[in-house]
Structure 1
Amino acid sequence: MSYSTASDPAAHALAGAVPDWLIARLQMVDTQIRPVQVSDPRILEAMRWIPRERFVTADRVAVAYMDQNVPLLAGRVLSEPRVIARLIQALMPRGGERALVVGAGTGYAACLLHALNCDVVALEENRTLAAQGRSLLAELAPGVRFHEGALAAGVPEAAPFDFILIDGGVTEIPTAYASQLAENGRVGGILHRRGAVPTAFLAEKQALGLRPRAQFDCAAPLLPELAPTPGFRF
């Protein structure tokens, strides 16, 4: 795996010139990712090298590696590092599997999955974010196919997917996703239930449909495009 901003950290250390962003990535992995039982060496390696600071706006680069969601625009965020790492690990991606990233934003999660040798389709509804994500992934993960369209609709023309990663919060799994999964496919994301703490979930495709199973508590805002439409109350 190689990216234009990365090279051997040991060589940099010997030269006394370790790049600041590389230090930030190594510290993120050692202090945020490994302590929450993310043990897949492929995920750890990808997060050490992928330039997370490139996926945020210029005024947010200073907080790109902090253990928090980083605001982007229109109610959207770059997900907290430990949350996206644990979600990806829960999905247990295997090299060569076809993946759909819903709410791809500027493309960080899609870039991670590409580094794990998955065949990735990124779906984004917001035009501004889609333009940013398409440009970044063309440089950093050129194998990713970026699709602009409604998040609730998925990408049926690219189905079936071995798994779907929803990069944000939902109150329910959109009904279109089940039909776009391969046999025994799975969906992961953050589920919001009224009166309960948001919880990461994993749902596997079965004869009775998708039944989410809680994985861990976490904080992630609802994806505005998948938020329920307000209704009248009497």
Structure 2
Amino acid sequence: MTADCSTTSLLGNRPQFYLNDFAQARDYMVDDQLRPSEITDPQLLKIMRTLPREECVPTAQQAIAYADVNVPIGQKRVLAQPLITARLVQASFSGSLKKTLIVGAGAGYTAAIFAHLGKNVTALESDPTLAEIGERFCQRHAPSVTWVVGNLKDGHPSNAPYDLIYFDGTVFDVPQFCDEQLSDKGAIVGMWATTHGMASGFQAYRENRSSTIFTKTFLFDGFLPPLQGLSPTSSFQF
């Protein structure tokens, strides 16, 4: 489903105040989309019931900020549909995964979620316009997030190593920087391009300490546009 679908089709039988009452829309998002789909962590549900997604999208798209779609935010990028974000974030849970790099951080929504989960977050964004929007959003709602503008394929070595490298979009391969910037027991999480333009959520871990061979697990199928600037050039082995 694309974000230009009619409001009626996206909202179903929900009352019209859904369009303007964003607090109520967040409740519907959690109760209708997340909880029935095995998003069970109470802290994550509370955060997503609170963070204002509508501040991360253009005014013209705010009516569908909480619908079950990827919402365009400009620069050929989207705010991922709530369920994809929730599934990937929940897949990232581990007591040891504290230091987090968000690659393609966009308008800051996912970075803010991780900050509220107690992570030390670096948000990397290649587009200065989106980075400015995301930094403003995080200044209001997650001021501990560190924002960096740079090429996604390079990561951000000055804050490495990271316990978690999270791709906020679809990748065709894992960039080589992960080998150098991921901690020995760290994890990589994101969406992996599959056939017919679709993607699968994935986790990847080193097979053993300091190994460059990673074990990848597919979690669920979905769609999220590819992150611009990340081409399939990895030398990783899976």
Could you say which TM-score interval applies, normalised by the shorter chain? 0.7 to 0.9
Residues 98-135 of structure 1 show CA distances to partners (whole Å, capped at 9, x for unaligned) of 11111000100000001101110100001110111111
Aligned partners of 2:101 and 2:166 also within 8 Å: yes
Secondary structure, aligned partner of 2:185 = strand
Aligned to 2:77: 76
Partner of 2:137: 136
Rounded Cα–Cα distance in structure 1 between residues aligned with 2:189 and 2:178: 11
- 1:195 CA drift (Å): 4.5
How far 1:95 moved relative to its partner? Answer: 8.1
Render the CA deviation track for 1:72-110: whole Å, top value 9, x for unaligned.
Answer: 112100001000100011111448811111100010000
Pairwise CA distance, 1:213:
1.4
Distance across 1 between alignment mates of 2:47 and 2:37? 17
Question: Is the 1:178–1:210 Cα contact (8 Å) retained in structure 2?
Answer: no
TM-score, reference length from structure 2: 0.84
The residue that corresponds to 1:50 in the other structure is 51
Asked whether 1:65 is paired with 2:69, we answer no
Aligned residues: 211
TM-score normalised per structure 1: 0.86
Letter in 2 for 1:53: E
Q: Percent identity?
A: 37
Change (3 A) 1:95 1:57: farther
Q: 1:95 to 1:181 in 2, by over 3 A?
A: closer
Pairwise CA distance, 1:215? 0.6
Q: Which residue among 207, 212, 220 is the counterpart of 1:216?
A: 220
2:17 matched to which residue of 1?
Answer: none
- Residue 167 of structure 1 corresponds to 168
> Cα distance, 1:177 vs. partner?
1.1
Give me the whole-angstrom Cα distance separating, in 2, the residues matched to 1:77 and 1:196. 16
Task: Identify unmatched segments of 5+ residues in structure 2.
Answer: 1-19, 234-238
Q: CA deviation at 1:228?
A: 4.8
Letter in 2 for 1:191: W
Change (3 A) 1:183 1:85: same
Is residue 56–residue 73 contact of structure 2 (8 Å, CA) maintained in 1? no
Q: 1:95, 1:181 → 2: CA distance? A: 13
Cα separation, partners in 2 of 1:95 and 1:46, compared to 1, 3 Å: farther
Amino acid at match of 1:170: V
Q: Distance in 2 between matches of 1:143 and 1:151?
A: 21
Q: Which residue of 1 aligns with 2:124?
A: 123
